[in-house]
Amino acid sequence: MKDIEKYTIETEDLNRREVHRIIADCGLNGYSLYEKQGCWKGSVEKSISIVFLDINHKPNFSNQIHIVAVLIKQLNKQETVFVEKKWVRLDVI
């Protein structure tokens, strides 16, 4: 068991290829992307959750996630992008 930080970026599903490029350009090479459906101001829209695990407790990991979120927000011309950060216990099998 290992305690790690888990970050989830919640955003509209626009420009996915560019989102992947932004993540790679920020030096993050491992993540999961989940397709979802959301609702904003009464309109249903496609959305994604991008999950990052800081398994090695990298010193700048939180900053990298913040930069990715800001760049996605700018790319998609969004009012808001959500970033959730929480501690989780990971059992690596």
- For residue 60, the domain's CATH number is 3.30.70.120
pLDDT of the residue at 92: 82
Give me the number of domains the chain comprises: 1
User: What does the pLDDT look like over 5-42, one tens digit per residue?
Assistant: 999 999 999 999 999 999 999 999 999 999 999 888 89
Q: What global pTM score does this model have?
A: 0.92
Asked whether 86 and 5 are in contact (CB, 8 A), the reply is yes
pLDDT of the residue at 39: 87
Phi and psi for 72 in degrees, rounded to 5? -65, -40
- State which residues form the domain around 18: 2-90
Estimate the crossing angle of helix 61-76 against helix 16-25, to 10 degrees. 150
The side-by-side arrangement of strands in the sheet containing 43-54 is 32-40, 43-54, 2-12, 82-90
